[in-house]
Chain A
Amino acid sequence: MRWFASVRDFPSLKRIYPDRRARGWRIGLAAFRCSFLLTFLGCWSALAAAASSPTFTVGWSVYAGWNPYFYMAKSGILKRWADKYGVVIKVQRFDYAASLDAFVGKNIDACTMTNMEALDMPAAAGVDSTVVIVGDYSNGNDAVLARNNVALAQLPGKPILLVQKTVSEYLLERAMVLNGLDNQLPRLKLLNTSDSDIVGAFLGDKSNQVAVTWKPLVSEILDQDRGVKSLFDSSRIPEEILDLLVVRTDVLKRPDGSGLKFAKAIAGAWYETVAQIAAANAQAISGSAAASGDSVASYKEQLRTTYLYSTPQAAAQFAQGKELKQKMDLVRQFCFRHGLLGQNVQSVDDVAVLYPDGAIQGLKDRVRLRVDASYMQLAAQGKL
């Protein structure tokens, strides 16, 4: 005997629900239709929103000086500024190399990068780019590490672990030059080691005596092996390893003016965020630490060796000064010497840099990287 009733027991209902299974199927179909409709409506409204306000994507990667972009987007600061200028700004996290690829491939509109990569990736690949924000410089974040009290003069002949053709190699070269060891440079034995494995490779094998890397990897190595010492770090070459926000020039020059609005919005949001970090706002710091999964203590330690231009005044002043030109010249000569400007670039002047005062480093008709201080200046004057 069945203790439950079925549709079959009520013939009158059968008209409405011919079968239990069919009924389930119908409900499923209805749900499917609903969801389809909702998706459609969702897409449509998103499209409508996109049509009404231009959308821009900013790519960033994990680094003490760039983590604030994560907090800036999450805390709503960015949205407030974007709304003010009537644009939509999306912030997307990438691996560093991938972010550069995406920027050069024109898949994103703006990207965080160092001054060296700004020259050798987009600029050298003919993608005209503009520096909108000079965010910070590495003030000890990059370091040459060695064990057994090896000195810089003893480096030749020893394998040196580093990610080649990055600021690590630049730092190493500067360390040698500043210590009068220029003539030893060709004798350095560089071992290209991926940043994902450099800590394990260096700590795991004591016969590897020298490594050049960046924080937080530097801190990891120093914490785990007391015998390792820092021989040289980027605090000795201040303002040379700059961390920038670079926007594609054609985006800035969009005829509808939306690119300018985007740059203004992001500059405004950036300086509001940085002011919070400079004021040691606990929320801003923990929000930025969370961007890379670092602990607050570790992130604070990284910030100590990152010189943040915490006011737009300071950043604008530096961008307009003559130091920037001197430092950029060192970097571009390095890039050219190492073939980073391309196999077929005959002269360092083929990838030219335009500065805020109109001065051009390189050939006039080959300007590929522009430093534009106007957004930092507007922020400094409170006109954003």
Chain B
Amino acid sequence: MAQTFRVSDLTGIQVRPARLWTHSLSWILFVAGIALYAHFSILRHRDNPEDRVIPSVTQLVQGIKASVLEPAEEDDPLDPGASLMQQVRHSMIWKDTASSARRFFIALLLLVPAILIGLHMAVFPYAGAFFLRFVLFFDKIVALSLLPILFIVFGIDEWSKIMLMVIGVAPTLMLDSYNIAGGVPKEQIVKAFTLKSSNLDVAYRIVLKQVLPQLINSVRLNLKPLALFLFAGEMIASTDGLAYRIAIMRRHMGMDVIIPYLLWVALLLFTLDALLRFTNRRLHPWYQPH
């Protein structure tokens, strides 16, 4: 059944756009962004063929090649006969991604207890009384301003960066999981007790089980703050990592490497987010937010 498109549909709520429409509409902004970039890049290169502020496609390709195939400047150069796989394994971007990812996942792991604390705050009144006020206060502390203290306490190596991420994101996650877990109807809990549940049963098998998809979504939303804190830490003091490379490249306007790096980070975050979303759907098919 072919529906004819009318202009008034654009402002309609009760319309079902055809598949072709939704697909083509969703790419318009991407195309506009790329076109805008190309326009300014061409403009600047006409004025100055060596412009580095908005690199051209050839510059970008060269930057990508350098970051994917060549070892970082501070590392030893590879033998000329190295295979492609070896080249990639020893490349700048591989090394930076590995060290950033390590920090990222350690921090993510350390955030699991934060979620559980939030759950306990919501379920156990004494835990709530103990934590809530402090967490509310601590949530408002701008974590970046604590950095000098973190340096002193955790040293300048890995742990200060990881703790910056944890301290920056944990209070938000705690409060969010507190709110989510608090939204479980009281009747259910009472009902569980009448069916001879223990306290821990209620906390973990009634409340946690049904709020878990929401908690995973909360983590998904916090991926970006997490990356932000990781970048802040790496830019301030480090010897490797994605943001370290960006900070170094900025010193001589190496936008031909910075832009591929930014896109790579975006892709990584997108993949992680998609992975969590996918897992969520597989684990909790009953959860249908909309």
Contact = CB atoms under 8 A, between A and B. Distances in A.
B partners with A: yes
Interface of A: 97, 101, 104-105, 120-121, 124-127, 159, 161, 164-166, 186, 189-194, 196-197, 200-201, 204-205, 207-208, 338-344
Q: Which of B50, B237, B254 has the most CB of A within 10 A?
A: B50
Contact of B62 (A97, A161, A204, A344): A344
B252 interface: yes
Interface in B51-65: 51-53, 59, 62-63
B251 A208 contact: no
Interface string B250-262: 1111101100000
Contact of A192 (B50, B53, B63, B247): B247
A340 to B, nearest CB: 5
Interface SS, A side? loop
Nearest to A341: B252
A339 B73 contact: yes
Contacts of B152: 200, 204-205
Contacts of B156: 159, 161, 191, 193, 201, 205, 208
Given A97-B251, A121-B252, A126 B147 contact: no
A205 B151 contact: yes
A165 B248 contact: yes
A338 B247 CA distance: 15
Contact of B151 (A159, A165, A200, A339): A200
28 contacts: A101-B253, A104-B52, A104-B53, A105-B53, A120-B252, A124-B50, A126-B50, A126-B52, A159-B156, A159-B239, A161-B156, A186-B76, A190-B239, A191-B238, A192-B248, A194-B235, A194-B236, A194-B237, A196-B236, A197-B236, A200-B148, A200-B152, A204-B148, A205-B156, A339-B252, A342-B52, A342-B254, A343-B257
Interface of B: 48-53, 59, 62-63, 66, 73-74, 76, 147-148, 151-152, 155-156, 235-239, 244, 247-248, 250-254, 256-257
B209 to A, nearest CB: 44
A368 B257 CA distance: 22
A192 B237 contact: yes
A32 to B, nearest CB: 35
B62 A192 contact: no
A203 to B, nearest CB: 9
A161 B237 contact: yes
A97 B147 CA distance: 22
Task: Report, nearest first, the 4 A-B pairs whose CB atoms are least far apart.
Answer: A126-B50, A204-B152, A200-B148, A125-B52
Contacts of A207: 155
Contacts of A194: 235-237, 247
A126 B248 contact: no
Contact of B50 (A125, A159, A189): A125
B237 A338 contact: no
Nearest to B237: A193
Contacts of B254: 342-343
Contacts of A341: 252
Contacts of A126: 48-52
Given A126-B50, A192-B237, A204-B148, 6 more contacts: A126-B52, A127-B48, A159-B156, A190-B239, A192-B247, A344-B59
B229 to A, nearest CB: 15
Given A189-B239, A339-B73, A201 B151 contact: yes
B242 to A, nearest CB: 13
B95 to A, nearest CB: 15
A165 B251 contact: yes
B203 to A, nearest CB: 40
A343 B63 contact: yes
Nearest to A165: B251
Contacts of A125: 48, 50-53, 253
A192 B244 contact: yes
A207 to B, nearest CB: 7
A327 B212 CA distance: 64
Contacts of B59: 344
Given A190-B239, A191-B238, A164 B251 contact: yes
Contacts of A200: 148, 151-152
B151 A204 contact: yes
A343 B256 contact: yes
A192 B238 contact: yes
Contacts of A120: 251-252
B73 A338 contact: yes
A97 B247 CA distance: 11
A97 B248 CA distance: 12
A220 to B, nearest CB: 13
A295 to B, nearest CB: 23
A97 B252 contact: no
Q: Pick the most buried of A120, A192, A342: most chain B CB atoms within 10 A of its CB.
A: A192
Nearest to B240: A192
A214 to B, nearest CB: 15
B251 A166 contact: yes
Contacts of A104: 52-53, 253
Contacts of A127: 48
Q: Which of B62, B63, B244, B252 has most A Cβ within 10 Å?
A: B252
A308 B145 CA distance: 37
